[in-house]
Structure 1
Amino acid sequence: MIRGLAALAFTLALAGGAHGVECRDQTHDGIPYTVCEVDPAREELRLFHAGADGVPYGHFSTLERALGARGRHLAFAMNAGMYHQDRAPVGLYVEDGEQTMSLVTSAGPGNFGLLPNGVLCIEAARARVIETRRFAETGPECRHATQSGPMLVIDGALHPRFLADSTSRFVRNGVGATESGDRVVFAISGRPVTFHEFGRLFRDRLGLPQALYLDGNVSRLHAPGLGRSDIGRWMGPIVAVVEPAAD
């Protein structure tokens, strides 16, 4: 009940703003976060990796320039999963219906291989976070998809490997969604946090039953409404909301 009321209050607070993706700074358990909510039925939520020349965009500014040449701009963007040294995505990657990397269902090293991991699947009018093996069983049709890991929240429960007393802290970013996929929320921490703390943001404050870790250290946010566009290390996949450029 409390989680549901918290989620409702958050949604209502955002509903009073302008059209398009809405970002805001907030705290949970004394930890600062920036949270951006997307309505995938109304907004163009999608993934980007590389330009027509095959070179990964790498930075928000590069992608923004490419979109500007087409009369579009970034209303929101965030790094969208882990990548290899050549910035190719790790695990499943689908962009505009074209799959360029395959689903990985086995355990492996690092955070990505800390099962269960999952997939952000962007469909025609919704976006869902789906645990990897469930994704393999159901085979949803995704216009865009990126695999990452670990899952932060699975069916309303924190990842079983998360420790409340962990000392591993990084600036982290992730995404959560409702079961129906009508509400998608991206978040980035304002200071280093543990997996347990970050998962609790999605479960307890945002009231989302499924949430996926996107990365740490590389975590970046482009939120023009907040006057923010992070710079730093080169990125691989980027998730974004795209809108027509202002006249």
Structure 2
Amino acid sequence: MIRAALIAFALFALKGAPAGAAECRNLTFEGNSYTICEVDMARDDLRLFLNDSSGAPYGFFGSLDDALKAQGLRLGFAMNAGMYHEDRSPVGHYIEEGVETRGVIDNAGPGNFGLLPNGVFCLREGRADVFATKRYLREKPDCRFATQSGPMLVIDGALHPRFLPDSSSRYIRNGVGTTADGQRAVFAISNTVVTFHEFARLYRDELGLPNALYFDGNISRLRAPGLRRSGAGFTTLGPIIGVVTPAK
């Protein structure tokens, strides 16, 4: 019995977490609290979602989970994934299951989205990448899913040039960064109010990621079942990013 248990433990250690299980954890960096969720693109089924079969926005993680259950699936980790208008339609570029519903916006504008450079989070087969928008337009990656937001937090290892170390603008913020090889997507949400500069330093200095993109602030929400976070809230969401797993 003991030998069998040791073998089972060894196999688990070799294989890592169960298939489709994004790993979430809490950490403190420079005195600020964050929750980090890492997605392994070789293992996890990461997707973007916006509207249900009737064309109405899912709006809530629970509504999306209910829809997936009808397909024999369930929603694991999830997060809001980019800025949206009052009708929940994306402010910027959006692709879902290879279908583009909004084109790329590459000009400067008001608000955080228009604080160039902004960027695009792109999912392709077995990889995830954050592209600055100009690079995205040059390279034209064939994304199965994509969402545009802004500003970029980290661009090729450098912080966004407009971020101020002594800024007084503090919000709950969330975003995503990717490894250079595209094999990991790392999502973060602050549990305390932080500045852009502080949030970007988390990605560059603590997580060591070359490119990272801001998703939103104020309405930022996270579903992390392993940490008993449902992400429930009163405000309906626009685009949602999440890991899909078989229902058990």
Q: Which residue of 2 aligns with 1:10?
A: none
How big is the shift at 1:17? Answer: 4.3
Unaligned 5+ segments in structure 2 are 1-12
Normalising by structure 2, report the TM-score.
Answer: 0.92
* Alignment partners' CA distance in 2, 1:204 and 1:154: 13
Q: Which residue of 1 aligns with 2:81?
A: 80
* Alignment partners' CA distance in 2, 1:130 and 1:229: 29
One of 228, 237, 240 as aligned partner of 2:239? 237
Normalising by structure 1, report the TM-score.
Answer: 0.92
Unaligned 5+ segments in structure 1 are 1-12
Q: Which residue of 1 aligns with 2:4?
A: none
Q: Structure 2 counterpart of 1:147, which letter? A: Q
Determine which structure has more spread, i.e. the larger CA radius of gyration. Answer: 2
* Alignment partners' CA distance in 2, 1:122 and 1:91: 16
Q: Which residue of 2 aligns with 1:62?
A: 63
Q: Which residue of 1 aligns with 2:106?
A: 105
4+ residue runs of structure 1 moved beyond 3 angstroms?
Answer: 15-19
Q: Which residue of 2 aligns with 1:144?
A: 145
The 3-state SS of whatever aligns with 2:143 is: coil
1:10-62 deviation line (CA, Å, top 9, x unaligned): xxx9x854442100011101110000000112110110000110000000010
* Percentage of pairs with the same residue: 61
Q: Which residue of 2 aligns with 1:161?
A: 162
1:93-149 deviation line (CA, Å, top 9, x unaligned): 000000000100000000000000000000010000000010001100000000000
1:200-229 deviation line (CA, Å, top 9, x unaligned): 000000000000000001100000011101
Q: Which residue of 2 aligns with 1:6?
A: none
Q: Which residue of 1 aligns with 2:22?
A: 21
* Alignment partners' CA distance in 1, 2:185 and 2:66: 26
Q: Which residue of 2 aligns with 1:7?
A: none
* Alignment partners' CA distance in 1, 2:17 and 2:87: 39
RMSD of the TM alignment (CA)? 1.2
How big is the shift at 1:231? Answer: 2.0
Aligned residues: 233
Map of 1:195-234 to 2, 5 A cutoff? 195-232=196-233, 233-234=235-236
